[in-house]
Amino acid sequence: MIRLALAMARFQIAAMRRSPHDLMALVNAPLFTVIFLAIVRYTGRDDLTGYAVLAPAMITVFAMALLASGEIIANDRTDGRLELLVASPSPVAVVVLSRIAMITLVSLVSVAECWLVARVLFGKAVAVPHPWLFVGTLAAIGLAMAGTASAMAGLFVLTRSARTFQNSLSYPFYILGGVLVPPALLPEWLRPLTQVVFLSWGTDLLRDSLSEAPVQRVLPRIAAVIVLGGTGFLLGAWLIHRVLLKVRNDGTVSHA
Amino acid sequence: MTESSPLAVAVADLTRTFVRSRSRLPGRLKRRPPESRTALDAITLTVPSGEVHGLLGPNGAGKTTLCKILSTVLIPTSGIAKVFGHDVVVSTTRVRPLVGVVLGGERGLYTRLTARQNLMYWSALYRQPTSEGAERTAKLLERLGLEERADERVETFSRGMKQRLHLARGLVGNPRLLILDEPTVGLDPAAARDFRGLVRQLRAEGRTILLTTHDMTEAEELCDRVTLIDSGKLLGTEDPRTIGEWLSAWERVTAEGVPAELIDRIRKVEGVAGVEIDSEGRITVETAGDGTSAAVLSLLVDGGVTSLSTSRPSLEEVYLHLIGSRGLNVG
């Protein structure tokens, strides 16, 4: 199974190299960074530089999960590849999750991209006083994002109407995930909702890792990211199973 | 039955019904009740291991539905389908490594990737180690005559090349049963001839091949046995020689410049089913019996007619003869 997962990850790299559309979010990331950093500079809030670097990176990670990972099954179905994949001896869920994991890994390049924009264009080197926490949180966010993406990949096939809202899904997620504005600064009535979004825990931890101050309650907060992301994985695996059963029953495996 | 079973395919009372929801009629609040269509109606069929078995039938006959059920892509409504003894519904993990499927058409490939990348992807899905997959991919590309274009994007390929790549994809898992659903549709005559040669090679390797086609000549040329299917019902399984007899029995003779008196004599020849005269005076004689064409040709030549030809009927025309005027209706 590991060999299959690695082969699918390698395949996804090759597929993305030939499909620049899937990488557009990585092109947008530096532009968003410039916008956020320009706002920070204009308001004289250099203390928020880290926020302005993290936000576009997280936006990129989610955008690729939504638009590249979320479309994997739907695209294969439209192009007549899903029925051939179903007929192969490999579990579709493993194939899809491996490919999504690679997309998520590539999307994390945006963190370095945004950091470099701050360093090169604005002369701001964002320090990371808690590097292990930073890396660990990024890894947890990556896993959780891949889980969420697998759920979306299933959902977009199972419920076609969900695709109508695909683009607008981003904005509530950015707000509830505390991408730019920490959840603690959101209206009080909205805060409980942020607790069930893994990214809100993740972005708070990332911001804390950029601060000199000791970080409180690290393990439970990372656990929250992993548990919520793991729920996404389980939901994704279940949805993919349901989707395949449904389309094999309906005879719509190859429907566009 | 086990994998050493002499039966590659065993299908009993297999039925597949599609249910389609329908939209509201204009001005009506209630939805119309769902519409159901039976694509396969209690089909029973066996294909021995090592046989090239043809599935013949018009569009909508149920051929593709049967192929999809056997390849585990579609779940039957009722009945049993087994591949080398394994049930296609409950033992999908046992069935899938044994089956290669080529569903026809140009879809199903990653067109922005190269032929080699496509085959490597499918070899990984058939659980081959990378080195083994690379070796098998190279061999298949060479065998299918694609080695020179192996590292070019599939989107630059002709239809025939894409079809060959599909066939390579179907073979990448080294399947014991190869399902080919109308594999020569859209191929030029040379590509279709090459394809037939390949099917013969695959048969010689001991593979079982289930081939759907519209082309009776192709079926006659390639298949050990042929099953006729129409409107989801199995009409019968025949030796391809029987098809050859049908083809010659319903041969047509076309001639120009035939005198009216000679036309009358042709109408009276035993086995002549009909004579049609078009606006340019050309006649088409439909025959319905062995040796009738020869008798008609003899009369025409004796009558001094030199512009004449014979042709075989298409599958659809044979269907019209076999199953009546509804033969072409898509059920």
Structural domain count of chain A: 1
pLDDT tens, residue by residue, B109-161: 999 999 999 999 999 999 989 999 999 999 999 988 888 898 999 999 988 88
Task: Give me the DSSP letters along A92-119.
Answer: HHHHHHHHHHHHHHHHTHHHHHHHHHHH
Scanning every residue of chain A, which has its alpha carbon at the shortest distance from the alpha carbon of B129?
A: A3
Cα of B93 to nearest chain A Cα, Å: 6
Q: Does the structure show a pLDDT above 90 at B286?
A: no
Written as one string, the DSSP assignment of B134-183 is: HHHHHHHHHHTT-GGGTTSBGGGS-HHHHHHHHHHHHHTT--SEEEEEST
- Residue A32 is assigned to a structural domain of this protein: yes
Residue B328 has pLDDT above 70, yes or no: no
**What digits encode the pLDDT tens for the residues B165-210?**
999 999 999 999 999 988 887 777 887 888 888 889 889 988 999 9
Distance, CA of B205 to CA of B198 (rounded, Å): 11
| Nearest chain A CA: its distance from B147 CA (Å) | 20
Do residues A33 and A117 lie in contact, with contact meaning Cβ atoms separated by under 8 Å? yes
Question: What is the structure's pLDDT at A60?
Answer: 93
Give the bridge partners for B18, in sequence order: B37
Strands B52-56 and B225-230: parallel
- A256: in domain: no
Q: Is residue A63 part of a domain?
A: yes
pLDDT single digits (tens) B28-83 = 767 777 788 888 999 999 999 999 999 988 788 888 899 999 999 999 999 999 99
In contact, A70 and A243? CB cutoff 8 Å: no
Find the helix or strand (DSSP H, E) in which B117 lies. helix B115-125
For B320, residues 6+ apart whose C-beta sits below 8 A from its C-beta are B327, B328
Q: Is residue A33 part of a domain?
A: yes
β B35-48/B7-20 pair status: antiparallel
Cα gap B189→B7, rounded to integer Å: 33
First to last CA, chain A: 29
Average pLDDT, chain A: 88
User: Cβ(B330)–Cβ(B58) under 8 Å?
Assistant: yes
Give a yes or no: residue A48 inside a domain.
yes
Sort B133 into a burial class: Cβ within 10 Å, 0-12 / 13-18 / 19+. Answer: buried
Chain A: residue whose CA lies nearest to B133: A7
**Nearest C-alpha neighbor of B216 from the set B45, B57, B46:** B57
Residue B63 contacts residue B181 (beta carbons within 8 Å): yes
This prediction's pTM: 0.81
A contacts of B71 (beta carbons < 8 Å): 83, 87
Q: What share of chain A is helix, strand, coil (3-state, %, to 5)?
A: 80, 0, 20
Please check whether residue A255 lies inside any domain of the structure. no
Residue A239 covered by a domain? yes
Q: Which candidate, B173, B192, B190, B172, places its Cα nearest to that of B182?
A: B192
> Using one digit for the tens of pLDDT, what is the confidence trace for A196-223?
889 899 999 999 998 888 888 889 999 9
Domain span holding position A40 = 2-250
End-to-end CA distance of chain B: 34
pLDDT at A108 over 90: yes
Instruction: Quickly tell me which residue has 């790549």 as its tokens.
Output: B165
Helix or strand run (H / E) with residue A231: helix A218-250
- Separation between Cα atoms, residue A224 and residue A57, nearest integer Å: 21
Whether the CB-CB separation of A73 and A239 falls below 8 Å is answered with no
Contact criterion met (CB below 8 Å) for A11 and B120: yes
Closest alpha carbon to B263 in B274, B250, B252: B274
Q: Is residue A221 part of a domain?
A: yes
Structure tokens at B71: 């390849």
Q: Are B164 and B158 in contact, with CB atoms under 8 Å apart?
A: no
Question: pLDDT band for position B247 (50/70/90)?
Answer: low
Identify which of B73, B99, B108 has the shortest CB distance to residue A248. B73
Q: Is A249 on the interface with B (CB under 8 A)?
A: yes
Using the beta-carbon criterion (under 8 Å), do B112 and A18 form an inter-chain contact? yes
- Of the candidates A8, A79, A87, which has its C-beta nearest B96's C-beta? A87
Give me B173's structure tokens: 């898992």
Q: Which residues contact B34 (CB under 8 A, 6 or more apart)?
A: B19, B20, B21, B22
User: Residue A56 has what DSSP assignment?
Assistant: H
B321/A238: higher pLDDT:
A238
**Kind plus residue range of the DSSP H or E element containing B23:** none
Instruction: Give dist(CA A176, CA A190) in Å, integer.
Output: 8
Q: Is A9 on the interface with B (CB under 8 A)?
A: no
8 Å CB contact of A84 and B169: yes
